[in-house]
Amino acid sequence: MVCPQNSSPIIPTIMGWKWMIGFVSLCFVLGCTRPDQRGVSTAGVDITTAVPGDWIVIGVPAEPEGLNPITVQTGYANDALYGGNDTQIFEYLLQFDTKDWSLSKPLLAEAAPEISSDHLNYTYTLRDGVRWQDGEPFSAADVLFSAKIMMNTRVDSAPIRSNFPDLSDVQILDGRKVRFTFSRPNFMDGYNIGTILPIVARHIFDPKGVLDRYSYKDMIGTKAQNDPIVKAFAENFNKSPQNRTPVGTGPFKFDHWDTGKEIVLVRNDQYWGRKANLDRVVLRFIQDSTARLTALKAGDIDLDSRLEPIQYAQQASGDSFDRQFAKEPVAMSLYRYVGWNMDRPYFKDKRVRQALTMLVDRQQIIDTLWFGLASPLASPVYASSPEFDPNIKPWPYDPKMAAELLDAAGWKDTNGDGIRDKDGVPFRFEIQGPTGNDFIEHLLPILKESFRKAGIDMRERRLEFTVLVENLKGRKFDACTLAWSMPLEDDGFQIWHSSSIANGGSNAVGFRNAEADRLLEQGRMEFDAEKRKQIYWKWQEIIHEEQPYTLLLVPKEPMAYQKRFQNVTWLPINQGYDLTQWFVPLVLQKYKSGAKP
C-alpha cells in the first residue's frame, strides 16, 4: 500500500500544519535532567553494548487521523502504527530482510508461504506463542477476521482493498494454518498478503463473534454486503473507539493519545521477539517546522524527523548544534507531485496537463527550495524497482512549447483580460496544499507566478492535512500538491487503475485510460520478470504522455537527532528508521525518573 504524505519534508508521502502546539517539557513534569547544552560526550562510554532505558521524543508535523491499520490512509498514521519495517505497534505476516530488502523474514508467520504451482493458493503457518498486547493469544481467527472486515465495501478500507481484487477465499486449515485463495494469479499476491494485509485483533473489534456466522466468501458476496447486521457492523467498525486505542503484537504498545499534543508508546516487555531498548516513544505534534527545530534545540524533543531543507542547509548547524545533534538527509521511497483533477474542464485535455508540467521549472525548485537534496523524476515507479523504465526522461521546462500546447487545446485569451479561456470558461483554478510548512509556502507562489505568465490564474488554498485528505477522498479539489510514499514493490493499481476512483480510493485525480488499465491488469498476472518489465514500461509511457500528475521531485528527507542515541541507522522505507535498534548508554540516559508507563 502507498500512503499519502504532506508536501512538507518528511514520506510520502504521502505533512505540515498551520499552528504550533503549546506543551510542557516532560523533564519538568517528571523531574528529569535537561540535556547538557554543552554537548554530548561519549568519551569513555560504552557505545557498542545496547542497554534498556530512556525515552525518545519525536517532533512530527501532523496528528494521525486514526490508529486503525485497516482504515487509516496517511503516512503519519502508518508511521505511528508500524514504524520502520514493522517495528512499532502492529506487525505483518512477513518483514523485509534489511540485508537485501527481500520480503523474506518471518514475522507473524513462522516461514514464507507454501505456494501452489498455479499461484492461486498461499498457505501460511502462523507463529506460535504470539500474544496481543493485552495478553490475549494471537490466532488464525484474527487473520481471517481481518481479511473479512477489510474486504467489506462499507468499511473505509478502499486503498488497501484495491490490492486484493481477486482474493476469493480465506480459510483456516487447522490451528495455525491459513490459506489464501485467489481467482486469478497475480505476481504481487505474496507481497500483498505478506506486508500489505493489516491484521487486527478479532476479540477487540468483534468480542461477540458477530462475523463468525459469515465465511469469507459470504462477506465478499452481495448478500452479506447488503445484510443489515454486516452493514451495522461495518459502520461501527469505521467509528469504533478502538480506532484511537490500538492493540497490536509489536515491540511497542500504545499507552495514550493526548489529542492535539502527543501519542505515547511504551516498550512491550511481553513481546514475543527481540525486545526494544527504549522505554517510551513519544510522538509530539508540532505542526510548524520552525517550532519543531526550536523544540529540538531547546531539548524538548530528541528527533526532528521532518527538517525543512533550508533548515538542514542553514539553520541546523553551528558549534553548539553540532556538539549536541547529528543530522542526516535520509533517502526514502517517495515522490512529490501536483495532481490535476481530470474531471475539471481545465485538465481534461492531456495537452493542457503537458503544458502545465512544462511551465514548472522543477530543477529550480530542487536547487532553491530543496537545496539540492532531491532529484527530478519522470515516472511514479520507484527507481530501484525492476519495473522502472530508465528511458523515460522528465518533460523539459519550456514555457514557449507550453503556450503552443495551450493554444492548440483551445485555451486562448479571447477577451484581452490576460487570462486564457475556452467556451466562456476562464482558466482559473485552485490548488490545495497542506498548511504550516516552508516548502509549500514557497512552492505555491512559484507555481502561481509561472502559470500567471502563461495566462492561467491559479488560486492558493492551504488546509489542515486531515481536511485536505478528506477533500481528496471526496474529490473536492481542482488540483493538489502532496507526496506518495512508495513500497519497494508495487503494481500501480492502488493509485492509477480506474477502479480506484470511487469510494474514496487513491485515484483521486480520476485518471481513466482503458489501455493503462489493461496493462496494469496484465502486469499483475505476469510472473516472467522480463515480460512483466516490458508491460510496465509500456504503462509508464502512457502515464508520461497523459501527465495526470506533474512529478516534482524525489527528495531526501533531512532529519536531526540528539547525539546520546546510539546504533542509529536509516532505512529506505518509511518512517526511515527502526527505533527498536536505537539505545542510549546508561550514563547518557535523560529520562531516569523511574516513572512507570
In whole angstroms, give the CA distance from residue 445 to residue 438.
Answer: 12
* Mean pLDDT confidence for 526-534: 95
Judge if 444 and 565 occupy the same domain: yes
Judge if 461 and 371 occupy the same domain: yes
Q: What does DSSP assign to residue 500?
A: G
Average pLDDT along the chain: 90
3-state secondary structure of 289: helix
Whether 88 maps to a domain, the answer reads no
With cell 509549500, the residue in question is 440
Judge if 129 and 199 occupy the same domain: yes
Cell of 18: 498551520
Judge if 297 and 407 occupy the same domain: yes
Q: Are 298 and 318 in contact (CB under 8 A)?
A: no
The predicted pLDDT at position 235 comes to 96
Whether 87 maps to a domain, the answer reads no
Residue 130: name the closest of 75, 158, 100, 92 by CA.
92
Judge if 105 and 210 occupy the same domain: yes
Q: What does DSSP assign to residue 341?
A: -
Boundary-marking domain end, from 192, 222, 244: 244
**How far is C-alpha 535 from the geometric centre of its chain's CA atoms?**
26
Whether 74 maps to a domain, the answer reads no
Confidence of residue 515 (pLDDT cuts 50, 70, 90): very high
Cis, peptide link before residue 575, omega less than 30° from 0: yes
Q: How many CB atoms lie within 10 A of CB 16?
A: 29
3-state secondary structure of 405: helix
Whether 79 maps to a domain, the answer reads no
Whether 83 maps to a domain, the answer reads no
Whether 562 maps to a domain, the answer reads yes
In whole angstroms, give the CA distance from residue 117 to residue 119.
Answer: 5
* Mean pLDDT confidence for 73-79: 88
- The secondary structure element, H or E, covering residue 483 is strand 479-485
Q: In 151-221, where does DSSP find H-type helix? A: 158-161, 189-195, 202-205, 216-220
**How far is C-alpha 258 from the geometric centre of its chain's CA atoms?**
22
- Summarised one tens digit per residue, pLDDT across range 365-411 is 999 999 999 999 999 998 888 899 999 999 999 999 999 999 999 99
Q: Has residue 137 got a pLDDT over 80?
A: yes
pLDDT above 70 coverage of the chain, percent: 92
The predicted pLDDT at position 143 comes to 98
Q: Has residue 357 got a pLDDT over 90?
A: yes
Confidence of residue 4 (pLDDT cuts 50, 70, 90): low
The predicted pLDDT at position 383 comes to 87
* Mean pLDDT confidence for 439-447: 93
The predicted pLDDT at position 76 comes to 87
The predicted pLDDT at position 74 comes to 84
Residues 6+ apart with CB under 8 A from 450: 359, 360, 361, 399
Q: Are 582 and 567 in contact (CB under 8 A)?
A: yes
Boundary-marking domain end, from 224, 244, 264: 244
Judge if 335 and 258 occupy the same domain: yes
Judge if 354 and 304 occupy the same domain: yes
In whole angstroms, give the CA distance from residue 536 to residue 509.
Answer: 21
Judge if 189 and 282 occupy the same domain: no
Residues 6+ apart with CB under 8 A from 138: 108, 126, 127, 130, 131, 132, 201, 249
In whole angstroms, give the CA distance from residue 387 to residue 493.
Answer: 14
Within 13 Å of residue 351, how many CA atoms lie on the same side as its CB? 11
Judge if 488 and 466 occupy the same domain: yes
In whole angstroms, give the CA distance from residue 251 to residue 268.
Answer: 5
Q: Has residue 417 got a pLDDT over 80?
A: yes
Judge if 449 and 580 occupy the same domain: yes
Better-predicted residue by pLDDT, 455 or 74 = 455
In whole angstroms, give the CA distance from residue 475 to residue 468.
Answer: 10
3-state secondary structure of 222: helix
Q: Looking at the 3D structure of the chain, how many domains does it have?
A: 2
Q: Has residue 171 got a pLDDT over 70?
A: yes
Name the least confident of 170-174, 287-291, 536-540, 579-583. Answer: 287-291
The predicted pLDDT at position 327 comes to 96
Residue 555 main-chain phi, psi, to 5 deg:
-90, 160
The predicted pLDDT at position 3 comes to 54
Q: Has residue 297 got a pLDDT over 80?
A: yes
* Mean pLDDT confidence for 304-332: 92
3-state secondary structure of 476: coil
Q: Which amino acid is at 224?
A: A
Whether 340 maps to a domain, the answer reads yes
Residues 6+ apart with CB under 8 A from 142: 199, 200, 201, 202
Judge if 507 and 578 occupy the same domain: yes
Buried b (16+ CB within 10 A) or exposed e, 387-418: bbbeebebbebbeeebbebbeebebeeeeeee
Q: Has residue 299 got a pLDDT over 70?
A: yes
3-state secondary structure of 158: helix
Judge if 266 and 347 occupy the same domain: yes
The predicted pLDDT at position 1 comes to 54
The predicted pLDDT at position 28 comes to 28
In whole angstroms, give the CA distance from residue 431 to residue 421.
Answer: 18
Q: Are 327 and 391 in contact (CB under 8 A)?
A: no
Q: Give the torsion sign (CA, 466, 472, 474, 479).
A: positive
- Summarised one tens digit per residue, pLDDT across range 82-94 is 999 999 999 999 9
Q: Are 280 and 267 in contact (CB under 8 A)?
A: yes
**Residue 478: CATH number of its domain:** 3.10.105.10
In whole angstroms, give the CA distance from residue 242 to residue 506.
Answer: 24
Q: What are the beta bridge partners of residue 55? A: 280
* Mean pLDDT confidence for 245-272: 98
The predicted pLDDT at position 37 comes to 45
Q: What does DSSP assign to residue 499?
A: G
The predicted pLDDT at position 8 comes to 36
- Summarised one tens digit per residue, pLDDT across range 21-62 is 222 232 323 333 344 444 677 777 888 999 999 999 999 988
In whole angstroms, give the CA distance from residue 200 to residue 570.
Answer: 28
Boundary-marking domain end, from 228, 244, 260: 244
In residues, how long is the chain?
A: 597
With cell 546504533, the residue in question is 567
pLDDT above 90 coverage of the chain, percent: 78
Radius of gyration of the chain measured on its C-alpha atoms:
24
- The secondary structure element, H or E, covering residue 493 is helix 493-496
**Residue 115: CATH number of its domain:** 3.90.76.10
Q: How many CB atoms lie within 10 A of CB 364?
A: 12
Whether 75 maps to a domain, the answer reads no
Residue 440: name the closest of 1, 15, 4, 14 by CA.
15
Which domain does 420 fall in, by range?
1-67+252-597
* Residue 438 CA: distances (Å) to CA of 304, 480, 505: 15, 17, 29
Q: Has residue 535 got a pLDDT over 90?
A: yes
Cell of 317: 548547524
